[in-house]
Amino acid sequence: MVAKVPLVKTQRFSSLKSLRDNRADDGKKYWVDPRKDRDKDNLEVKVELTKMAYGDFKRIIEEELKKAPDGLTWTQIRERRPELYQKFPANQWVRQMEKDIGLTRLKKAGKTIWSLK
């Protein structure tokens, strides 16, 4: 039997106070890595993540693209929404969103811009 390893994302906080201020009661586990955090003014905090369902992913993408009518790159979307921890989105989900919400992807100056029809 293979042990399940939780998905973990690392976030940086300037202090323990900023960690407490930014952390809501979201049900996620937060912990400080004691080996890396000798400096209390620059904390590296690990956040346990849960796998995201397609419906949640689609809703987040649609919300962000409605705010930006000129479109966004995947990196810009990911920077705006910390719950998107994937380096690259699942290609099956992206193709499905093209059908479901009218997602379009256009190459401009070497970057792929996501927008809604």
Sequence spans of domains, the chain: 7-49, 54-116
User: What is the Cα–Cα distance from 72 to 67, expressed in whole angstroms?
Assistant: 10
For helices 54-67 and 91-100, angle between their N-to-C axes, nearest 10 degrees: 60
Residue 82 CA neighbour count, 13 Å, CB half: 13
> Which CATH topology does 54-116 take?
Arc Repressor Mutant, subunit A (1.10.10)
User: What is the Cα–Cα distance from 25 to 28, expressed in whole angstroms?
Assistant: 8
Output 38 or 87, whichever has higher pLDDT. Answer: 87
Any residues with CB less than 8 A from the CB of 43 and at least 6 apart, and which?
Answer: 12, 13, 14, 15, 16, 19, 32, 37
Q: What is the pLDDT of residue 19?
A: 54
Q: What is the pLDDT of residue 6?
A: 47
pTM listed for this prediction: 0.60
Mean pLDDT of 101-114: 94
Torsional sign, CA 58, 61, 66, 72: negative
Q: What is the pLDDT of residue 4?
A: 43
Beta carbons of 103 and 112 less than 8 angstroms apart: no
pLDDT digits (tens, 9 = 90+) for 32-85: 554 554 555 555 555 566 678 899 999 999 999 999 999 999 999 988 887 887
